[in-house]
């Protein structure tokens, strides 16, 4: 059983003009199982304050800025990140029998998360930015009416790790001689750098020992 040191904690610090706090909590590494459904999630919040002196500003400069009517303050930063995920293994019978002969869903997963950050610089100017992550995917057997338990398995996963990038991956596995051969591929669609793709074959086939 996971303990609290593994799934969360709170920490504060104050040293050399830099102070802050961090709080985080998450589900155990393998998630929380509720029947065929697995739940996962995490939450983290951080704050930090850095004095002008810790930023390397001299007393003469601070005094000058004060005389100019532009007092310099500490740099303040706050960030929050959270994510949740649901994964489920599906038993048979989700679809009508005649449909499962063509497509039998085996599992699916959904993920979503957000991050937000706000910064106030020493001149009092505020900056904010945010991002999000989301994804969905699943696995299924196809053509069970023709191949039975040896039917091919397919998997598809769509992921957006942030608002700029997208990743689409898939695979199809075919049982062969007590093993399995899988064709897989993925495509990264990026806004700020070249797109990338990969296609390959992997598998495990037992060979009889030679005597």
92-133 pLDDT per residue, tens: 777 888 888 899 999 999 999 999 999 999 999 999 999 999
Burial 157-167 (b: 16+ CB within 10 A, else e): bebbeeeebbb
Q: Tell me what percent of the chain is helix, strand and coil, each rounded to the nearest 5.
A: 10, 60, 30
Nearest residue to 101 via CA among 139, 63, 151: 151
Mean pLDDT is lowest, of 102-106, 174-178, 202-206, for 202-206
* pLDDT over 50 at 52, yes or no: yes
Mean pLDDT is lowest, of 40-54, 141-155, 160-174, for 141-155
Torsion-angle region of 54 (φ positive above 0: left; ψ -120 to 50: alpha; else: beta): alpha
Cα separation of 56 and 150, whole Å?
A: 68
Per the CB < 8 A criterion, the answer to whether 52 and 73 are in contact is: yes
pTM, rounded to two decimals: 0.78
Q: How confident is the model at residue 60 (pLDDT cuts 50, 70, 90)?
A: very high
Q: How confident is the model at residue 175 (pLDDT cuts 50, 70, 90)?
A: confident
Per DSSP, helices labelled H in 144-204 are 144-147
Cα first-last separation, the chain? 48
Q: How confident is the model at residue 211 (pLDDT cuts 50, 70, 90)?
A: very low
């Amino acid at each position: 059983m996971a303990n609290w040191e593994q799934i969360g904690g709170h920490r504060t610090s104050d040293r050399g003009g830099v102070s802050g706090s961090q709080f985080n909590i998450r589900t155990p590494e393998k998630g929380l199982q509720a029947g065929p459904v697995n739940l996962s999630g995490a939450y983290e919040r951080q704050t930090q304050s850095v004095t002008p002196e810790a930023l390397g500003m001299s007393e003469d400069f601070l005094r000058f800025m004060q005389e100019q009517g532009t007092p310099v303050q500490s740099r303040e930063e706050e960030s929050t990140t959270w994510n949740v995920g649901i994964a489920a293994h599906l038993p048979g019978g989700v679809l009508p029998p005649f449909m499962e002969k063509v497509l039998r869903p085996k599992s699916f997963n959904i993920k979503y998360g957000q991050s937000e950050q706000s910064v106030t610089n020493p001149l009092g100017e505020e900056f904010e930015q945010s991002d999000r992550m989301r994804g969905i995917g699943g696995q299924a057997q196809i053509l069970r009416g023709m191949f039975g338990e040896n039917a091919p398995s397919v998997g598809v996963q769509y992921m957006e790790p942030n608002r700029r990038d997208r990743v689409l991956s898939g695979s199809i596995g075919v049982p062969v001689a007590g093993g399995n051969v899988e064709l897989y591929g993925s495509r990264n669609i990026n806004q700020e750098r070249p797109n990338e793709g990969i296609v390959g074959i992997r598998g495990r086939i037992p060979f009889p020992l030679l005597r």
